Amino acid sequence: MKEYMFQSPARIHFGRGAVSKSGTEAARFGKSALVVTGKGSSARTGSLDAVLASLKAAGVAATVYAQVESDPSVNTVEAGAKLARENGCDVIVALGGGSPLDAAKGIAMLLTNGGKVTDYEFKSPEKDGTPIIAVPTTAGTGSEITRFTVLTDTDRKVKMLIQGAGLIPKVALLDPELTLSMPAHVTAGTGMDALTHAIEAYISKIATPMTDVHALEAIRLIGENLIKAVHGPENMQAREGMLRGQMHAGLAFGNASVALVHAMSRPLGALFGIPHGQANAMLLPVVMDYNHSAAPERFRDIARALGENVDDLSLRDAARTAVLSVEELLEETGLENRLSAFGVKESDIDRLASDAAVNGSCNFNPRKPDKEEIAALYAAVL
Ligand SMILES: [Fe+2]
């Protein structure tokens, strides 16, 4: 057994009402919070009010930055850092889906390390960012507990993956009540993103016994709860299952990385604006089909975690069952399963495949794909 490292986040509160800890947790780190959130939904659903009330009760001042778009841009992050400096903010509360959380990480990084976002495209920030209390309102990205942020350079149409231990939020408040208001397509997209994290971490070349435990538990929970949450938005048990599932997925891929699906979905987001979870969902079955022969035992485990009985099947068929099971799941979510629905044309595949082939996540895939193979995978879901 080779030596390995598992980076765990500092503190996780899980359960209904966890959002009410925002104030006391923020007060451990500072007196003035920048609250980073999206452009509307957290105000509409009342989650922003819950955070602000908790901060007030704990005596922490709040500056609200409710300007984060989906796929947050470098400009949004730099404007947020400027606002934080002007108001002397010494702690950040990040509230919302993956986009506000990723934007908050970028802001936190700039506040302590200085410079521009693009300075960190290929090098990790040296210093820990300003402390972040992360409060997710979707069940998918795992951003509240990972060391990654994905920020978009709109000039170059590139999604940059920036990483460093200093980007991990100090506290994650996982409150399933905040996820109840997610519309079905967001539940489906973010849930499929989390499933992709878990599956890619489990088949990753750098998976370890510690990431395996989290990955399999994530696959089990998501397999059991995703469709229930999509079709029964008020189903609290399913919402809890999904939130816990995506957390385990975050712990897994935060250490074992993601692989080819993510390498291929990033250019779809950068060039066509396809939401991250939706892009992963479309690609996941076809990429699993490409990968399953390279790690059949792992895919058999995935099939079992998804509740399939594969005891009487050959190893090959058991592995293939995992692919079919995810295909079925995708269909039941009601998400799109064709790139053409988003305006992608055959003539776009060359550029997409070039971008995906140089993406670092390819290195962790059980099969090392070349550009032609990646192009064929895009073509299969066109
Ligand atoms: Fe993802």
pLDDT in tens, 336-364: 999 999 999 999 999 999 999 999 999 99
pTM: 0.95
Question: How many residues are present in the chain?
Answer: 382
Same domain, 212 and 161: no
Same domain, 81 and 213: no
Ligand 1: centre distance to CA 143 (Å) = 9
Ligand 1: centre distance to CA 213 (Å) = 19
Q: Is residue 3 part of a domain?
A: no
Ligand 1: centre distance to CA 344 (Å) = 20
Same domain, 157 and 252: no
Structural domain ending residue among the three candidates 152, 179, 206: 179
State the residue range of the domain holding 305: 184-380
Same domain, 227 and 142: no
Q: Is residue 235 part of a domain?
A: yes
Ligand 1: centre distance to CA 225 (Å) = 18
Q: Is residue 75 part of a domain?
A: yes
Ligand 1: centre distance to CA 34 (Å) = 25
Structural domain ending residue among the three candidates 130, 158, 179: 179
Same domain, 345 and 219: yes
Ligand 1: centre distance to CA 277 (Å) = 7
Same domain, 172 and 198: no
Ligand 1: centre distance to CA 196 (Å) = 7
Ligand 1: centre distance to CA 13 (Å) = 22
Ligand 1: centre distance to CA 38 (Å) = 18
Structural domain ending residue among the three candidates 122, 152, 179: 179
Domain count, the chain: 2
Residue 315: CB atoms within 10 Å = 12
Q: Is residue 340 part of a domain?
A: yes
What is the reported pLDDT for 122? 86
Same domain, 170 and 221: no
Ligand 1: centre distance to CA 32 (Å) = 31
Q: Is residue 283 part of a domain?
A: yes
Q: Is residue 2 part of a domain?
A: no
Q: Is residue 202 part of a domain?
A: yes
Same domain, 61 and 103: yes
* CB neighbour list of residue 115: distance below 8 Å, 6 or more residues apart: none
Q: Is residue 21 part of a domain?
A: yes
The DSSP secondary-structure symbol of 16 reads T
What is the separation of C-alpha 50 from the centre of its chain, rounded to a whole number of angstroms? 24
Check if the beta carbon of residue 109 is closer than 8 Å to that of residue 125: yes
Phi, psi dihedrals of residue 34, rounded to the nearest 5°: -95, 120
DSSP 162-216: EE-GGGS-SEEEE-GGGGTT--HHHHHHHHHHHHHHHHHHHH-TT--HHHHHHHH
Ligand 1: centre distance to CA 15 (Å) = 23
* CB neighbour list of residue 300: distance below 8 Å, 6 or more residues apart: 310, 315, 318, 319, 321, 322
Same domain, 171 and 290: no
What is the separation of C-alpha 257 from the centre of its chain, rounded to a whole number of angstroms? 11
Ligand 1: centre distance to CA 210 (Å) = 20
Ligand 1: centre distance to CA 190 (Å) = 8
Ligand 1: centre distance to CA 142 (Å) = 8
**How far is the C-alpha of 139 from the C-alpha of 226, rounded, in Å?**
10
Same domain, 161 and 204: no
Ligand 1: centre distance to CA 198 (Å) = 10
Same domain, 276 and 331: yes
Which among 176, 186, 222, 233 is positioned nearest to 41, based on CA atoms? 186
What are the residue ranges in the chain where pLDDT is below 50?
none
Ligand 1: centre distance to CA 155 (Å) = 23
Check if the beta carbon of residue 334 is closer than 8 Å to that of residue 184: yes
Ligand 1: centre distance to CA 93 (Å) = 21
What is the reported pLDDT for 89? 98
Ligand 1: centre distance to CA 281 (Å) = 10
Ligand 1: centre distance to CA 175 (Å) = 20
Ligand 1: centre distance to CA 256 (Å) = 13
Max distance between CA atoms of the chain, in angstroms, equals 65
For residue 286, give both structure tokens. Answer: 């076809």
Domain CATH for 148: 3.40.50.1970
Same domain, 161 and 207: no
Ligand 1: centre distance to CA 359 (Å) = 14
Angle at the Cα of 128 from the Cα atoms of 213 and 157, rounded to 5 degrees: 80
Ligand 1: centre distance to CA 85 (Å) = 30
What is the reported pLDDT for 42? 86
Ligand 1: centre distance to CA 194 (Å) = 7
Domain CATH for 353: 1.20.1090.10
